[in-house]
Amino acid sequence: MSDYTKILLDENEMPTQWYNVVPDLPVPPPPQLHPGTMQPATADDFAALFPKALIEQEMSTERYIDIPGEVLDVYRLWRPSPLFRARRLEKLLDTPAKIFYKYEGVSPAGSHKPNTAVPQVYYNALEGIKKLTTETGAGQWGSSLAFACAQFGLECEIWQVAASYNAKPHRRTMMEVWGGKVHPSPSDVTDFGRSLLAENPNHPGSLGIAISEAVSEAVKSDEIRYALGSVLNHVLLHQTIIGEEALLQLAKVGEVPDVLVGCTGGGSNFGGLAFPFLREKLAGRMNPTIRCVEPTACPTLTKGEFRYDFGDTAGLTPLMKMHTLGHSFIPEPIHAGGLRYHGMAPLVSHVYDLGLVEAIAIPQTECFAGALQFARSEGIVPAPEPTHAIAAAIREALACKESGEEKVILTALCGHGHFDMASYDKYMRGEMVDLELSDEAIAEAMKSVPVLA
């Protein structure tokens, strides 16, 4: 098999366990803290938000966790997902590098998010929960949770960041097709939302605000829980099916990655792809450079600090030690809505802090230029978020052209951009601008990070 375009796995080759990177790390990750006592959070502290099974996974130090049969059944609607060799992009770039991308846009919602939405809804359903609340930025996570709730018969209520709610009406319709109920955030249905609207009726919203609204609704009733689409350990755990499949697929064609690049918003598609490869690297079986790619307008890893901070704007969540720009930070409404988050997954922040992965920031016009090259060669129109990963892969491939190295580059194309035509339109009309964040703006937002004794 030497002239392949995509590498497929049979359904019966699909991995049946998720991988937990925690026990393999040289230093254990810092615990989450209770926001009142500042002591390490216990399972009870999360009980109003999440079902027991997910809290156990959040705190687990088991290396492998079995994927329940009911979850595997739903995964089979689109998994295993294909791994592509980007031969046409390689040719366009005239590079000796080999570029591989794991395509997660084949899921019903069009991204990697259903990989965690499905198990999250499953475990809630098992524990008798009737409704889930959540936030969504670009609408990818809200769609994924609405889809998963429809699979297991739960209600789904979603707060969508106002800027996206207005810019992407079709995503909202999609959530409603799957039975979800959608509010723009800030909304007039929560106290916090009303207080923000009183200050600014045209508030663009942020993920941090939408999380606060969804959490405040969930804690009202014992039959309602909250679901988060990124950042948390259990979310990254569920996403490792991406990397586990990619390992099997690369092995089929006898390739080993030299460089792995992934876009990081909250860190879940990156962690999902990278952690199984990090396991192999730590075990000395391969030695890829692993690199996070973030937008220059929301440079959490490259410009934020590694500190304890809240996951949401109102300060309702446990404190997590993570790279943060400050929980009061409201990113500019860049097109990659899914990358507009003030923090980074504690696990991704931790491995970055340990020097096990690198990070770079790329401005959005370079990302969209790369997306057009990708779409015109490979055919698939990427979501704005993975255009960051594509731009980084292109940088790497062009460096190989200079040096003559035949590096193997692996990335995740974590979603398609079929609902993002307004962004492409803006770019092609020459109206997209790069948003560089000033050091003053970062210093101002960092003031909201609590100072711990």
Ligand X SMILES: *Cc1c(COP(=O)(O)O)cnc(C)c1O
Site residues, ligand X (CB under 6 A)? 111, 113, 140-141, 230, 263-270, 338-339, 383, 385-386, 414-415
Burial 300-313 (b: 16+ CB within 10 A, else e): bbebbebbbbbbbb
Structure tokens, 128? 């008798």
133 vs 268, which CB is nearer to ligand X? 268
**Least distance (Å) between residue 1 CB and ligand X:** 29
**Least distance (Å) between residue 42 CB and ligand X:** 26
334 contact partners, CB below 8 Å, separation of at least 6: 295, 297, 298, 340, 364, 384, 435
CA distances from 301 to 237, 326, 359 (A): 20, 12, 7
**Least distance (Å) between residue 269 CB and ligand X:** 3
Alpha-carbon span 413 to 46, nearest angstrom: 32
Q: What is the DSSP letter of 382?
A: B
299 vs 415, which CB is nearer to ligand X? 415
> Nearest 5°: phi and psi at 76?
-65, -10
**Least distance (Å) between residue 357 CB and ligand X:** 13
110 contact partners, CB below 8 Å, separation of at least 6: 140, 143, 383, 415, 416, 418, 419
Alpha-carbon span 375 to 421, nearest angstrom: 13
186 vs 338, which CB is nearer to ligand X? 338
411 vs 448, which CB is nearer to ligand X? 411
| Residue length of the chain | 453
Residue listed under structure tokens 């998010």? 113
142 vs 184, which CB is nearer to ligand X? 142
> Nearest 5°: phi and psi at 5?
-110, -45
45 vs 309, which CB is nearer to ligand X? 309
Q: What is the largest CA-CA distance in the chain?
A: 63
**Least distance (Å) between residue 427 CB and ligand X:** 17
**Least distance (Å) between residue 189 CB and ligand X:** 24
95 vs 230, which CB is nearer to ligand X? 230
**Least distance (Å) between residue 338 CB and ligand X:** 3
Alpha-carbon span 148 to 259, nearest angstrom: 33
